[in-house]
Structure 1
Amino acid sequence: MHNSAKSIAENASYQAFMNCYIREVGDVNWVKKNELMKLSKLPYILNGEEVLELVLPLQHIRLIIEVNYRSLVGKHKLGTIYKYHDKELVWIEEEPLNCMISCIQELNLQAKNNNCNEMTSHYDELILRLIDSYHTICTYIEKSTSKSNHKKVEEYSFLESEQSLLFGHWLHPTPKSRQGMATWQHDLYAPELKGFFQLHYFEVDQLILKERFFVEEDSSLVKGEILKITGDGRYLFPMHPLQSQWLLQQEYVQKAMEDNLIKYIGPMGKAFSATSSIRTVYNKEDKWMYKFSIPVKVTNSMRVNKVHELEAGVVMAELFNKMDFLQKHKCFRVINDPISLSLNLPGKMENGFEVIMRSNPFQEGKGGGVHSIAALVQDPLPEEQSLLEKLIQTISRMHQISPEEASFQWFQKYWHCSVEPMIALYDEYGLALEAHQQNSLVDVSNSFPTHYYFRDNQGYYLSNSKRDELEKLVVNLKNAPELFYDEEIIQHRFTYYLFINHIFSIIYRMGEDGLITEDRLVNWMIKELQKLEKALSGEGKRFVHFILNSKVLPCKANLLTRFHDVDELLTDLEQAVYTSMPNPFYLMLSMNKKEKNYATASSV
């Protein structure tokens, strides 16, 4: 295949979408290639030992999809598609885009047959986002300056890593869908294109300003750093340029301007760049990162700061300050959101002026070699290596060990500085983290992991069973009831974010890159989890038991969430659509037990 930007983008879109469809929806059969060739007499040469047979019964279509790599825990690397239609009675090679649209149409027909008319209305929305994501990836590849980047992984700056995600969310059908961002705006505001911009400012009356603080320094001094005071005693309030333009169109903002409560000033000050989330912006000299609302739908949701999130960031900063957990786990760190700003405007609880201030531990001279897991495990461009593979090969050469042994040691060190502390945190305090790939940062400046960082004030789940104890530690938790959940919900979300989205992506990446088998890492994790189950006593113990003994694991269904047009940030408990997937731990334990029984029987 000619590796044009268009073909690379089409393949990336196809891999993302079809893996979601297979996981969440598809009537799928795994077939040995030799058996298939005997039965179907396909006029094509197929790669790999197995193929996927996918049936779209409502369209009378049968698809055969090559599988170039089958993963136990993650996504499969898919190849060429062959289609058979009952009316045509002949196999033809199918284009990836046509295949994806056929799958969306199957969802649409299923919804119609089940009289779910409210769901069929989102058929066109999903196609729109699919095309938007595909075109966006294509644009980013065409304009990317990271192609053939020979820089050492250990030497990336924090921002360079944040700007390296060309393909996006590995478990999402439309990973680079960005509805609401005009084509010309990507150059400035998309992290992948490495733009930079000034913040826009509003002059606001101090009577309508509301700030929330939990900082160790004098809060008035911190406030003075962030909000400059004008000559007439008003504050300069920062805003993302995209959001400021949206705000200026709102009637309630125009009314506040007429009443002289707000005055639009425009762009000023130092330049900021978008991090991987787009709406959190960074300047290497600034003590704070700014997390804004923006009028853009990114993957599943319109990116809007909610008032309870503003409260959550501040109260969670206080909670981590009161606990001794971080002192006991020196390699585990939390990037706090200890300050939030908003405006009180008549009749509007949330009005778009909500701003979250995130601590910036990666100021100039710091943050070298700190990467999100999403950046490390991202599929490489053709003829290149993933960042994780580059890292492992460096370790292999430096320490004169095999890539397999380097991978095993890297994974062990990462587990001990990230996963073990997170499960211990849940066990001791009933606090689970939404530790997906993008929220998870690791310091690999010394090649091996040395520190793990968690970020995101949308990602805290406190167990109702620990509510009284936690509220004694931090009284203000009583003002943040949205942080508390029942244990079953936490188990499901923690399973998805920590294991399926996060740890499994590392295992998949190492396996697909040919560094180490997935089986070896899963078997090692089973032993570690069994040790933890014995050592723990609370929520963590029950969580580990659930992970090891469930036949299936709860998995967020991003395709179905998208098809139903669910904005999870606006639903009760911020609940997306969930499905289930086979549990690799349970499968491996069952397989090991069968092999052990077979070996015992053979030796008798």
Structure 2
Amino acid sequence: MHNSAKKIAEKASYEAFMNCYIREVGDVNWVKKNDLLKVFKLPYILNGKEGLELVLPLQHISMIIEVNYRSLVGKHKLGRVYKFYDKETVWKEEEPLNCMISCIQELNLQAKNNNCHEMTSHYDELILRLIDSYHTICTYMEKSDFKNNNKNVEEYSFLESEQSLLFGHWLHPTPKSRQGMATWQHDLYAPELKGSFQLHYFEVDQSILKERFYGGEDSSLMKIKILKMTKEGKYLFPMHPLQSQWLLQQDYVQQAMQANLLKYVGPMGDTFCATSSIRTVYNKKDNWMYKFSIPVKVTNSMRVNKVHELEAGVVMAELFNRIDFLQKHKCFRVLNDPISLSLNLPGKIENGFEVILRSNPFKDGEGKGVHSIAALVQDPLPEEQSLMEQLVQNISRTYQLNTEEASFQWFQKYWHCSVVPMISLYDEFGLALEAHQQNSLVDVSNGFPTHYYFRDNQGYYLSNSKREKLERMVVNLKNAPELFYDEEMIQHRFTYYLFINHIFSIIYRMGEDGLIAEEKLVQWMIKELNNLKQGLSEEGKRFVHFLLNNKVLPCKANLLTRFHDVDELLTDLEQAVYTSMPNPIYFMQSMEKKEKHYATASSV
């Protein structure tokens, strides 16, 4: 393992994990650097103006974490960590991995002290996934060239952007954990290593084939367009190679094969590549992307398609077709999942053959300059620029703007083609989208954002208050009760995914890159939210009020979800562990009020 790859992977893993710990758990104190140096004799000069004092009381451990950049809204840029040794009464630099394991052990001790014995058994699972994620990043860096290829951000293809996510989720303790994928399989099936592969096929008797679709076409025509038929009158059913090997080991599949309902054919046809989710695959000539179940735990969950998700994609495609929202918001687009395929096998609600077909607007070069927000805001490699910084610098040169003005205009344009439509959609139809970084695509082929794309049929939340209205528009929504939620639940999820995970990540990235101060973007956002609120009437108005007036915001706790070994896709309401974080929007408003008060008082 090359030292450079190991060090970069270690740093990325440490920052991801520790930011989660600081936000969700940590007994931390912000301390000015000068105050730290007065109290503690540290072996090195600290970078940055502040440091974090981290206390692990159950282990009698104190640590000082160097902070190279403190974010108002996002993750902090962390440096070295120092641990206090009682016996020697000195501070010594600690290895990042040891620091993370100490934090996991503290969680374990807390669980024991709180008599949560069922939780304590999972801390070894978290350590395992932490190491797995760390080694995966190392492997990807060693096997693939992630150096800047001198291609402009505006010229990336859709697939190139999807394959560029080296570090993964910016606030997840194990962002590249992929349990269930063998070492040799990464070369073919991991998007970061740019492998390609044929789909595997089963011959399927039409008596067990079930398809759901929305498109106004006859069912038989739809089958012919999507599924090829053999001379024997069987349909060729596509499957991800990883899933096909898992399926062949299942008793119920072997029984169906013995009954001549199924026959394994193997790999055939055109090659596909994994997109950033791993299980959704892409071919630039195909009309569809295919979303499969795979026997791999990616970050929090085993990635399986549920039957209700198959229904959701179809009914939501119909809903977007029946409302005029997309016609009114030309810059806002949705990648629909209007077709799904599955098999009827006895005794199984989900049997592993569930497949979702997603519309592919990025055929034959049409995806040029289309990036996920996750790709744009990802931390750069050492001595390089983030994709966001490269993009802003290009805009600055093209339009002869300073970087602050280029950043400000980019953010404004993105806000109006993504956030404003989403809040309007929620206000008018009670429909909120799980618009996290990876679900959010933006066309920056011209530098500035021109179109926003939402993807993922697991990410729709319909308000119970609008249920009757929506079911009148789309009768089949009655078959998808899992899509409906109470308003409080939607507010929490919409807040986390759209703002904390998504918009705040853009603000953080621009601030950390030195393009524009985070405070300026948050101040502008407050004004825009207040202006937007005036034109809203229902759910959207209450949501904006919630954002502006709550001292804390609900935040998904990925570390605690991981520590408690919660597979959120298998829990009631697909609910992860949630905590709260200080609301930077409320904080900025409070600061402005104080400044106005002081200014008024001083002028009297």
**TM-score, structure 1 length as denominator?**
0.99
Asked whether the equivalents of residues 430 and 539 of structure 1 are also in contact (C-alpha less than 8 Å), the reply is yes
Offset of 1:216 from its aligned partner? Answer: 4.3
TM-fit CA distance, 1:565: 0.1
Structure 1 residue aligned with 2:552:
552
Could you tell me how far apart the structure 2 residues matched to 1:305 and 1:525 are?
36
Q: Given that residues 444 and 450 in structure 2 are in contact (C-alpha distance below 8 angstroms), is that contact kept between their aligned partners in structure 1?
A: yes
Aligned-pair distance for 1:226?
A: 1.6
> What is aligned with 1:512?
512
Structure 2 SS opposite 1:569: helix
Query: How far has the Cα of 1:427 moved from its partner?
Result: 0.2
Does the residue aligned with 1:4 lie in a helix, a strand or coil?
helix
8 Å CA contact 1:82, 1:94 repeated in 2: yes
Q: Are 1:12 and 2:5 matched, yes or no? A: no
Structure 2 counterpart of 1:556, one-letter code: K
Write the mapping of 1:342-421 to structure 2, written as runs, cut at 5 A. Answer: 342-421=342-421
Partner residue of 2:26? 26
Between 35-44 and 283-292, report the one with greater CA deviation.
Answer: 35-44
Q: Could you report, residue by residue, the CA deviation over 1:228-276 in whole angstroms, capped at 9, with x for unpaired residues?
A: 1111111000000000000000001001111111000000000000000
**How far is the alpha carbon of 1:146 from its aligned partner?**
3.0
Map 1:180-579 → 2, pairs under 5 A: 180-579=180-579
Cα distance in structure 1, aligned partners of 2:87 and 2:56: 14
Alpha-carbon shift at residue 219 of structure 1 (Å): 4.5
Identity %, equivalent residues: 85
Change (3 A) 1:542 1:3: farther
Separation (CA, whole Å) in 2 of partners of 1:335 and 1:481: 22
Count of aligned pairs: 603
Native 8 Å contact 1:51 1:66 kept in 2: yes
Instruction: Give the RMSD, CA atoms, in angstroms.
Output: 0.9
Mapping for residues 151-166 of structure 1, pairs under 5 Å:
151-166=151-166
**What are the Cα deviations for residues 527-552 of structure 1, in whole angstroms up to 9, with x where unaligned?**
00001111100100000000000000
Alignment of 1:67-78 (within 5 A): 67-78=67-78
Give the stretch that moved more between structures: 223-232 or 327-336: 223-232
1:160-198 superposed Cα distances (whole Å, 9 cap, x missing partner): 000000000001000000000000000000000000000
**How far is the alpha carbon of 1:148 from its aligned partner?**
2.3
Q: In structure 2, what is the Cα distance between the partners aligned to 1:95 and 1:345?
A: 52
Q: Which moved more, 1:97-106 or 1:32-41?
A: 32-41
1:37-56 alignment runs, 5 A limit: 37-56=37-56
SS of alignment partner, residue 404 of structure 1: helix
Distance 1:600 1:373 in 2: 42
The 5 Å alignment of 1:165-180 reads: 165-180=165-180
**Alignment match, 2:85:** 85
SS at match of 1:106: helix
**Cα separation, 2, equivalents of 1:438 and 1:71:** 21
Greater CA deviation, 17-26 or 3-12?
Answer: 3-12
Equivalent position SS for 1:207: coil
Which residue does the alignment assign to 2:584? 584
Report SS of the residue matched to 2:207: helix
Answer yes or no: is the 8 Å Cα contact 2:10–2:134 preserved in 1. Answer: yes
Shift of 1:374: 0.3
The 1:3/1:149 distance shift into structure 2, 3 A limit, reads farther
**Corresponding letter in the other structure for 1:317:** A
Shift of 1:36: 1.2
Mapped partners of 2:216, 2:521: distance in 1: 42
Question: What are the Cα deviations for residues 366-415 of structure 1, in whole angstroms up to 9, with x where unaligned?
Answer: 01000000000000011110001000000000111100000000000000
- Asked if structure 1 preserves the Cα contact closer than 8 Å seen for 2:42 and 2:92, the reply is no
Which residue is 2:63 aligned to? 63
Q: Distance in 2 between matches of 1:152 and 1:217?
A: 41
Contact 2:179 2:296 in 1 (8 A): yes
Structure 2, unmatched stretches of 5+, are: none
Counterpart in the other structure of 1:598: 598
Give CA deviations for 1:98-142 in whole Å, capped at 9, x if unaligned. 000000000001111111111110010000000000000011111
- CA distance 1:217–1:451, change in 2 (3 Å): farther
Provide the C-alpha distance between the structure 2 equivalents of 1:271 and 1:290, rounded to a whole number of angstroms. Answer: 12
State the Cα deviation string for residues 196-220 of structure 1 (Å, max 9, x = none).
0000000011000000010145543
Q: Is the 8 A contact 2:463 2:487 kept in 1?
A: yes
Matched-pair contact (CA < 8 Å) for 2:74–2:504: yes
Code of the aligned partner of 1:273: C
8 Å CA contact 2:157, 2:365 repeated in 1: no
The 8 Å contact of residues 60 and 86 in structure 1, kept in 2 or not, is answered as no
Alpha-carbon distance in 1 for matches of 2:3, 2:500 = 30
1:112 is paired with a residue whose SS is: helix
2: CA distance, partners of 1:396 / 1:14: 33
CA distance in 2, matches of 1:145, 1:470: 49
Query: Structure 2 length as normaliser, TM-score?
Result: 0.99
**In structure 1, distance between residues paired with 2:44 and 2:365:** 56
Q: Distance in 2 between matches of 1:86 and 1:226?
A: 68
Equivalent-residue separation in structure 1 for 2:147 and 2:137 (angstroms): 14
Native 8 Å contact 2:28 2:54 kept in 1: yes
Cα distance in structure 2, aligned partners of 1:439 and 1:222: 27
SS at match of 1:363: coil
Kept in 1, the 8 Å contact 2:85–2:92? The answer is no
Deviates most, 113-122 or 299-308: 113-122
Q: Distance in 1 between matches of 2:558 and 2:41?
A: 36
Deviations 1:142-163 (A, max 9, x none): 1222312210000000000000
Question: Is the Cα contact below 8 Å between 2:156 and 2:370 reproduced in 1?
Answer: yes
Letter of the structure 2 residue corresponding to residue 95 of structure 1: E
* Structure 1: stretches of 5+ with no match in the other structure: none
**Alignment partner, residue 136 of structure 1:** 136
Provide the C-alpha distance between the structure 1 equivalents of 2:3 and 2:512, rounded to a whole number of angstroms. Answer: 20
CA distance in 2, matches of 1:513, 1:288: 37
Contact 2:41/2:91, CA 8 A, preserved across alignment: no
* CA distance in 2: counterparts of 1:158 and 1:43, whole angstroms: 47
Query: 1:397-454: per-residue Cα shift (whole Å, max 9, x none)?
Result: 0111100000000000000000000000000000000000000000000000000000
Q: Deviations over 1:347-379 (max 9, x none)?
A: 111000000000000011301000000000000
Q: Return the alpha-carbon distance in structure 1 between the equivalents of residues 24 and 546 of structure 2.
A: 21
> What amino acid is aligned across from residue 246 of structure 2 in structure 1?
W
Q: How far apart in 2 are the matches of 1:235 and 1:88?
A: 73
Deviation at 1:39, TM superposition (A): 1.4
Shift of residue 221, structure 1, vs aligned partner:
2.9
Task: Work out whether residues 60 and 85 of structure 1, in 8 Å CA contact, stay in contact via their aligned partners in 2.
Answer: no
**Contact 1:336/1:358 (<8 A) preserved:** yes
Q: Is the 8 A contact 2:423 2:540 kept in 1?
A: yes
Deviation string, structure 1 residues 453-483 (Cα, Å, up to 9, x no partner): 0000000000000000000000000000000
The range that moved more, 137-146 or 438-447, is 137-146
Matched to 1:23, the amino acid is R
